[in-house]
């Protein structure tokens, strides 16, 4: 049996005290005010919903997409919807459930369910119960989800609850009840013909494969109940919530699960400590082997630094995979140390430290790289890394530059904008939302308008769209997003070979892709 690295690490390296637990914060008595983020995790000010109108919040939550092809927009959605803050007047459980379900579908379903589940009486509230049931289905807790739906007394006609009852009846072999429920779904007309046929095939015991197109939470549930294992192509079609669930599931083959875990890490849907525990449960995993080696080597040894560098460099030139690995190995970034005048993989370690905001670690390795007597390019690469870092953390970059006695120029980043490939909303709807929320004082509504705006069609009115997006950017204070985007662009150029005259990326590096349909 493979020796797990958690046993090697011991309690000292993986504390599970208060700092590692999810923070649940409420600043008023409503469910809507709950959040899991603190300032260090990117939480917006607690006044983020100040001046917001309840009906306008509901409209915007419907307008904002569940998924984004641009990772930074998913991060913005996370910050808005998981920040604690007093909600608008009349913010009831229905609005809170809509807010939690939106962020759950974006991949943060356990955070959302943890908040919905602590609300008094949530078990009888259809909106909050749906958030928890959604999590239970994703995590393979089908019996719990069925019991939750059965206990519900209100809201049972919602398509989600009817579909859940059908799956539960079919799974339990209650054919007559399943047939009646499927007939109700047909009459409602909320599911496509293909979805109805797949549900019928599940109850009929027919052979089922991996579903085509974008899978729903019920597709995922049926796959687990029927033992239909996903392949790598499934991940590229799945939304972020199912991707995160696949990373957590023992049912998924290790090769696919490892890929899902890297995607979830890059999207901030799974944290480093949980990721380490998940990797520990994988038998056929290159990540697991690397972590076993890392933990078995003497701390601060040259060998340990080289192994960490190789593990990071295995991400190749893909920024998202590098980010995922930086988060996975974040504990070891602070453990390894360079030796005098020799710093192999120093650039990989320094760049990873920048990605996870470990500025002192980045500083240590950049200075070691500049002093590396074995590399004729060390000084040039070190200076290039300082310029890259200036896009993300200008103050840290200036400090490092002063040690290297070099000058750097720090300019305001270019405003970042990425319109959806197939935008769905007309510009007129965006203008209406902006006019309705012009008096809002908090950052949340402008941020949601911005996110909805990235999903609008110009329709010959590109100037109007640009004006609304500029307004929402300023009022939502998205300077951090612009800076992250600028840093990513510089880091991608560095990974592609722009290393201050150092030539191509490390020998043997590959260029995978973590670009799902999200």
**Helix/strand/coil percent split, the chain, to 5:** 60, 0, 40
CA 390 – CA 399 distance, rounded (Å): 10
Shortest CA distance to 222 belongs to which of 170, 158, 150?
170
CA distances 218 to 114, 142, 199, 228, 242, Å, are 21, 10, 9, 13, 11
CA 169 – CA 229 distance, rounded (Å): 23
CA 235 – CA 214 distance, rounded (Å): 10
CA 2 – CA 47 distance, rounded (Å): 50
Q: Is 512 exposed, middle or buried (0-12, 13-18, 19+ CB in 10 A)?
A: middle
CA 282 – CA 260 distance, rounded (Å): 13
pTM for this entry: 0.89
In this prediction, residue 515 carries a pLDDT of: 52
* Residue-wise DSSP of 409-422: ---PPPPP----SS
Specify whether the CB–CB gap between 304 and 298 falls below 8 A: yes
CA 79 – CA 129 distance, rounded (Å): 23
Bridge partners (DSSP) of residue 457 are 426
Mark the ranges of the chain whose per-residue pLDDT is less than 70. Answer: 1-28, 460-462, 501-518
Specify whether the CB–CB gap between 242 and 269 falls below 8 A: no
Helices 175-188 and 193-203: crossing angle, nearest 10°? 180
CA 351 – CA 322 distance, rounded (Å): 9
DSSP reduced 3-state for 55:
helix
Long-range contacts of 254-259 (CB under 8 A, 24+ apart): 254/282, 254/283, 254/284, 254/285, 255/284, 256/229, 256/230, 256/231, 256/232, 257/282, 257/285, 258/282, 258/285, 258/286, 258/287, 259/232, 259/235, 259/514
CA distances 355 to 26, 299, 328, 351, Å, are 30, 22, 12, 6
Q: Where are the domains of the chain?
A: 57-91+418-483, 93-246, 301-404
In this prediction, residue 2 carries a pLDDT of: 43
Q: Which two tokens stand for residue 467?
A: 């004006």
Shortest CA distance to 274 belongs to which of 6, 4, 1?
6
In this prediction, residue 28 carries a pLDDT of: 61
Q: What value, to the nearest 5°, has the Cα angle with vertex 501 and ends 495 and 503? A: 55
Letter string b/e over residues 243-276, b meaning 16 or more CB atoms within 10 A of that residue's CB: bbbbbbbeebebebbbbbbbbbbbbbbbbbebbb
Residue located via tokens 């009022």? 475
Contacts of 380 (CB under 8 A, 6+ apart): 499, 500, 501, 502
């Amino acid at each position: 049996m493979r020796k797990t690295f958690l046993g090697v690490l011991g309690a000292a390296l993986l504390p599970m005290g208060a700092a590692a637990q999810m923070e649940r914060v409420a600043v008023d008595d409503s469910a809507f005010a709950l959040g899991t983020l603190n300032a260090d995790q990117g939480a917006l000010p607690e006044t983020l919903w100040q001046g917001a109108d309840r009906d306008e919040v509901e409209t915007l939550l419907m307008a904002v997409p569940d998924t984004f092809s641009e990772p930074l927009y998913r991060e913005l959605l996370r910050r808005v919807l998981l920040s604690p803050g007093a909600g608008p007047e009349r913010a009831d459980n229905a609005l809170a459930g809509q807010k939690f379900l939106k962020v759950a579908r974006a991949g943060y379903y356990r955070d959302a369910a943890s908040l919905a589940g602590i609300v008094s009486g949530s078990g009888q509230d259809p909106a909050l119960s749906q958030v928890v049931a959604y999590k239970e289905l994703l995590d393979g807790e089908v019996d719990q989800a069925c019991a939750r739906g059965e206990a519900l007394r209100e809201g049972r006609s919602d398509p989600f609850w009817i579909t859940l009852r059908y799956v539960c009846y079919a799974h339990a072999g209650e054919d007559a009840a399943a047939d009646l429920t499927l007939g109700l779904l047909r009459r409602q007309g909320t599911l496509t013909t293909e979805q109805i046929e797949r549900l019928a095939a599940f109850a009929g015991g027919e052979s089922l494969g991996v579903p085509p197109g974008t899978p729903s939470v019920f597709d995922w549930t049926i796959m687990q109940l029927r033992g239909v294992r996903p392949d790598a192509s499934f991940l590229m079609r799945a939304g972020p919530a199912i991707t995160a669930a696949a990373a957590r599931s023992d049912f998924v083959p290790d090769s696919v699960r490892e890929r899902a875990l890297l995607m979830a890490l890059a999207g901030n849907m799974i944290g480093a400590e949980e990721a380490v525990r998940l990797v520990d449960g994988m038998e056929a995993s290159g990540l697991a082997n690397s972590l076993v080696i890392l933990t078995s080597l003497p701390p601060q040894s040259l060998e340990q630094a080289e192994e960490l560098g190789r593990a990071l460099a295995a991400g190749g030139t893909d920024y998202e995979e590098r980010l995922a690995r930086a988060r996975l190995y974040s504990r070891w970034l602070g453990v390894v140390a360079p030796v005098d005048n020799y710093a192999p993989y120093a650039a990989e370690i320094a760049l990873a430290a920048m990605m996870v905001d470990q500025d002192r670690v980045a500083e240590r390795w950049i200075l070691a790289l500049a002093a590396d007597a074995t590399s004729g390019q060390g000084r040039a690469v070190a200076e290039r890394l300082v310029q890259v870092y200036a896009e993300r953390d200008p103050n840290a970059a200036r400090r490092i530059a002063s040690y290297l006695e070099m000058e750097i120029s720090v300019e305001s980043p270019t405003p970042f904008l990425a319109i959806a490939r197939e935008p769905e909303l007309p510009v007129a709807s965006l203008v209406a939302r902006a006019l309705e929320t012009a008096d809002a004082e908090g950052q949340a509504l402008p941020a949601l308008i911005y996110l909805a705006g990235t999903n609008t069609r110009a329709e010959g009115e590109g100037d109007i769209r640009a004006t609304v997006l500029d307004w929402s950017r300023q009022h939502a204070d998205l300077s951090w997003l612009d800076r992250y985007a600028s840093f990513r662009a510089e880091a991608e150029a560095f990974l592609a070979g722009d290393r201050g005259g150092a030539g191509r990326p490390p020998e043997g590096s590959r260029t995978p892709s973590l670009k799902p349909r999200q």
